[in-house]
Amino acid sequence: MRLHMPLHGGLLVGSAVFFAPHAPQSGIPFQTRIGMPRHLPEEIVQQTTRACATIERHLGNTVQAIHLFGSAMDGGLKPQSDIDLLVTARVAPDESVRRALLLDLLAVSAPPGDTSWRPLEVTVVAHGEVVPWRYPARRELQFGEWLRQDLLGGTFEPPMLDHDLAILLTKARQHSLALFGPPAQALFDPVPARDFAGALADTVAQWNSAEDWQGEERHIMLALARIWYSASTGRIAPKDSAADWLLERLPGEHRPILREARDVYRGLVVGDVPPDPERTEAFIRFAKANILPLLDRPDEGR
């Protein structure tokens, strides 16, 4: 779907319009003017439009930019892929706005496996908290399906320092579509290599025992493949592409379980049964032991 900025200031996504604050009044097609891709994946146009309208309704004229990134822009959407949105606000939203936005996003997102809509992942940052860049940087809120029950139960995460923003902003600068505002390369500073490596190491450090990956085994194995790729090359690849890269380098005993995780992610096989716990743990520990030295971090026996 082609994106244009109508003269009245609304952002046209497909045939639907949502209204963005301080919209440029140029008659030049929106995506042509900023030099970004011209098309959204057809299947997510309606949901993305609804999500952006929800964000604008709560954040109003504080919205500085909305970027679509992740699988939709790099590697292609897979059966279980989220729709990833990065929202940059001019000022941090207050607590009442944060809570209202988080609750309303529940209505424009669906758990994995839903046949109509995809899971939505929305990260909101205040521009002054990430530019100039500092590590770790602060995020104002994050919405994802893993938080659904907490939100319905009245539990809301506070704003927090988040090492993962170093990875997220790097992804956005490399592969994103500006639904509103300037391209990510113009809005955000480059993340220094040391901070990117530090964020990768901090992510790996979360996974130390079976309790840390229970129920998320395949997701974490693919995340480790992508981190290993990034630690080795300095680049970011889609999960399944990183798994392809790693499968060529793994010892034989670890290949089957990673290959299965990749194929489930691609929708080639059904992943109803959890992977073998012993082989899962063996792969995760092997991956950690090889990744952390690449990031100048000791494994510390974990």
Q: Tell me which residue of 159, 157, 158, 166 sits closest to 136, measured CA to CA.
A: 166
In terms of Cα–Cα distance, which of 192, 67, 174 is closest to 134?
Answer: 192
Length of the chain: 302
Using an 8 Å Cβ cutoff, are 226 and 236 in contact?
yes
- The 3-state secondary structure of the chain, one letter per residue: CEEECCCCCEEEECCEEEECCCCCCCCCCHHHHHCCCCECCHHHHHHHHHHHHHHHHHHHHHEEEEEEEHHHCCCCCCCCCCEEEEEEECCCCCHHHHHHHHHHHHHHCCCCCCCCCCCEEEEEEEHHHHCCCCCCEEECEEECHHHHHHHHCCCCCCCEEECCHHHHHHHHHHCEEEEECCCHHHHCCCCCHHHHHHHHHHHHCCCCCHHHHCCCHHHHHHHHHHHHHHHHHCCCCCHHHHHHHHHCCCCHHHHHHHHHHHHHHCCCCCCCCCCCHHHHHHHHHHHHHHHHHHCCCCCCCC
Answer yes or no: 121 catalytic: yes
Report d(CA 262, CA 264) in Å as an integer. 6
Q: Catalytic residue among 43, 56, 95, 121, which?
A: 121
Catalytic residue ranges: 121
